[in-house]
Amino acid sequence: MLKKKLKQEQEENLQNSMPKEEVEILRKKNIKELIAPSGIDASNIDYLRIISNTTRYARSFFVSSLPRMCAFPELFRDMYLFGDTNTSIYINPVPEAKSQNELNRVINQLETERLVAADRGNINRESVITQKRVEAEGLRDQIAAGFNKLFEASIITTLFAYNLQSLDAYTKMLSTEMSKSLVGVKTAWAMQEEAYKSNVPLMKNEIQKKHTFDRNSMATVFPFTTSEVGHLTGIPLGFNKQTGVPILFDNFHSSLTNYNMVIFAKSGAGKSVTMKTLISRSAVLMGIESLALDAEGEYSVVAEALGGINVVLRTNISNSNKFI
Ligand SMILES: Nc1ncnc2c1ncn2[C@@H]1O[C@H](COP(=O)(O)OP(=O)(O)OP(=O)(O)O)[C@@H](O)[C@H]1O
Ligand SMILES: [Mg+2]
């Protein structure tokens, strides 16, 4: 008891001997406290309000339907590249005995359905079911031989925006993008808190919406692509609309096989503006000189602004400007 008191006194003395502010800061240095927002309002049915210096809105989704076939590595590419999102995928291997039982049950069920269809003379349905049964048997045999394996996976994604209008617009865009590859995403309605928690790195899946994958289709969910476009050096061209990261372009970057470039777009899309931006920023930032063969005279203003010259070429004059 006495020892404890002594120790306490020693600690207090130590704290008092330190400057006051330092003690305060030391107490606050907790990583969770540093990164945590002021609060999260989970009272809304289909979004969360993350309250901090800047308030953000988050909406979580789960994948509700998948295509029958998927191509590597396309399955969730649009989801991974979709701007400010976090995606979690929980993968659980299905034990072999369980998958064999399950597949045998499916095969029996399909066979029963096939017999009923055959009895009724429904040839189309009979052939569709036969095809499914053959596929299920093939999968069962592959698993038995150790060539394949079944997995159960939950896919959850959270979308962030700075206001509700943007959040709604992004939600629409995301479901449209995903439907192109026949992936259905649904808002985790009335489960936003659970879905959000499932999407932070705590390894806790609170949304148990599972899909069955075989080994090949499971491989298609891994993101082997990057959302970065442009180069690490060069001139700023604009911002990535989804991530907000500046896009740099370097026409002489070592990753390019040559320096040629062509810009295609419909009339009025901004080709000339892009070209003029490239020319002027290259001149100012990298000291690159450009030469424009300009039939319409639209680059003369750029040349003048950058301290360049305009040379007029004509066919019908006899001075030194007669090049053609
Ligand atoms: N990034 C941009 N932001 C705002 N306005 C832009 C942008 N890019 C182009 N514009 C505007 O769009 C209009 C058409 O641009 P521009 O003349 O570059 O198109 P274009 O593709 O060269 O068309 P055309 O083929 O008819 O020459 C211009 O008025 C331009 O100011
Ligand atoms: Mg033009």
- Span 228-252, average pLDDT: 84
238 lines ligand 1 (CB under 6 A): no
Distance, CA of 178 to CA of 170 (rounded, Å): 12
Whether 73 and 169 map to the same domain: the answer is: yes
In a domain, 84, yes or no: yes
268 lines ligand 1 (CB under 6 A): yes
- On whether both 136 and 211 belong to a single domain, the answer is no
β-bridge mates for residue 151, sequence order = 93, 213
State which of 241, 272, 281 you would mutate to test the pocket of ligand 1, scoring each by most atoms of that ligand within 8 A of its C-beta.
272
Q: Is residue 227 situated within a structural domain?
A: no
Checking if the pLDDT of 140 tops 70, the result is yes
Q: What is the mean pLDDT of residues 79-102?
A: 90
Q: Is residue 17 included in any domain, yes or no?
A: no
31 vs 237, which has greater pLDDT?
A: 237
Domain assignment present for 323 = no
65-69, 97-101, 142-146, 303-307: segment of lowest average pLDDT:
65-69
Q: Which residues pair with 158 in a beta bridge?
A: 60, 86
Do 189 and 298 sit in the same domain of this protein? no
- Interval between CA 267 and ligand 1 midpoint (Å): 8
With a cut of 50, say whether residue 192 has pLDDT above it: yes
Residue 70 structural domain:
38-94+149-219
Instruction: Flag the least confident range among 4-13, 44-53, 186-195.
Output: 4-13
Question: How confident is residue 15, by pLDDT bands cut at 50, 70 and 90?
Answer: low
Q: Is 242 in the pocket of ligand 1 (CB under 6 A)?
A: no
198 & 293 share domain:
no
The number of the ligand nearest the C-alpha atom of 299 reads 2
Please report whether residue 228 resides in a domain. no
Cα separation, 167 vs 221, whole angstroms: 25
Same domain, 206 and 101: no
Q: Can you tell me the mean pLDDT for 220-232?
A: 73
Query: Would you say residue 199 lies in a domain?
Result: yes
pTM for this model (two decimals): 0.55
pLDDT grade for 232, boundaries at 50, 70 and 90: confident
Q: What distance in Å separates the CA atoms of residue 276 and residue 4, rounded to the nearest whole number?
A: 76
Residues 168 and 214 occupy one common structural domain = yes
Q: Which distant-in-sequence residues (6+ apart) come within 8 Å of 309 by Cβ?
A: 303
Query: Does residue 20 form part of some domain?
Result: no
Quote the CA–CA distance of 174 and 170 in Å, as a whole number: 6
Claim to verify: residue 83 and residue 101 sit in the same structural domain: no
Residues 160 and 289 in one domain: no
User: What pLDDT was estimated at residue 242?
Assistant: 66
Give the model's pLDDT for residue 322: 47
Element (H, E) at 91: strand 85-93
Quick one: 168 and 266 in the same domain?
no
Domain final residue, candidates 160, 186, 219: 219
* Number of domains the chain is built from: 3
CA distances from residue 168 to 67, 151, 249, 277 in whole angstroms, order as listed: 25, 33, 32, 33
β-pairing, 85-93 vs 56-65, is unpaired
The bound ligand whose nearest atom lies closest to the alpha carbon of 271 is 1
Arithmetic mean of pLDDT, 264-285: 93
169 lies in the same domain as 71? yes
Cα 77 to Cα 73: distance, rounded to the nearest angstrom: 7
pLDDT band at 314 (very low <50, low <70, confident <90, very high): confident
CA of 281 to the centre of ligand 2 (A): 18
Summary mean pLDDT of the chain? 86
Tell whether 155 and 206 lie within a shared domain: yes
Q: What is the mean pLDDT of residues 261-279?
A: 93
